[in-house]
A = this chain, B = another copy of it.
Amino acid sequence: MNESQYSSRLLDNAVCQFATLPGIGRKTALRLVLHLLREDKDDVAQFVEAVRAVRNDIHYCQVCHNVSDTDICEICSNAARNHRLICVVESVRDVMAIENTRQYTGIYHVLGGVISPMDGVGPNDLNIDSLEAKVAAGEADEVILALSTTMEGDTTNYYLYKRIAKYGVPVTTIARGVAVGDELEYADEVTLGRSLVNRIPFDTTLNIR
């Protein structure tokens, strides 16, 4: 599809804007815009206001850099959580994913990405100084590194370890292994290898479902 086919510049403009979103091509963008055209003006106004507000009015938690409506997010202001256990994650989505497990009661530290020279992301672009400050101030009993197992994730893990291990805080990473429910024969060699190397004592309680 080329741009000139639309009979309206406004339509074309809206389609171009939607097509900048990840995973949305021009055909899908057109479908979304034509849907909005058929909607009530009030509904579209609500949509527009929600998008405007999420970008302009949202806060980032001053402690963990998670998205929040307030200066300190719900997790960091929750007295029932263990504030001395810090899980370092790449993004807000990882916080949501871990929260969904309902297995973690500590707090988070959102880096805002991983070190990636290819994408021009260096250590200074990430929330690393504030993490080091917390650890240096003796505010953590343990730091859990929960980054992706990509080249960039591993690089960032190593860099973080160098920055915070010198303060004597235990640094751990989340377990890598064969996923629950997966069959061994279909697991890749690296994952299966790691699950063997990092084997743990058999725990009867974990196997009861």
Which residues of A come within 8 Å of B, CB atoms? 1, 5-11, 13-14, 16-18, 20-24, 28, 30-37, 39, 41, 43-48, 50-59, 61, 66-69, 73-75, 91-93, 95-96, 99-100
* A31 touching B23 in the complex, CB below 8 Å, given contacts A66-B7, A100-B5: yes
B-side contacts of A55, CB under 8 Å:
36-37, 39, 41, 44-45
Whether the pair B47, A51 counts as a contact (CB closer than 8 A) is yes
Whether the pair B51, A44 counts as a contact (CB closer than 8 A) is yes
B-side contacts of A23, CB under 8 Å:
28, 31
* A45 touching B52 in the complex, CB below 8 Å, given contacts A34-B91, A67-B7: yes
Whether the pair B9, A67 counts as a contact (CB closer than 8 A) is no
Whether the pair B11, A54 counts as a contact (CB closer than 8 A) is yes
B-side contacts of A21, CB under 8 Å:
32, 35-36
> How distant is the Cα of A161 from the Cα of B99 in the complex, in angstroms?
60
Q: Which residue of B lies closest to A43 (CB)?
A: B20
Among B32, B45, B48, B69, the residue within 8 A (CB) of A8 is B69
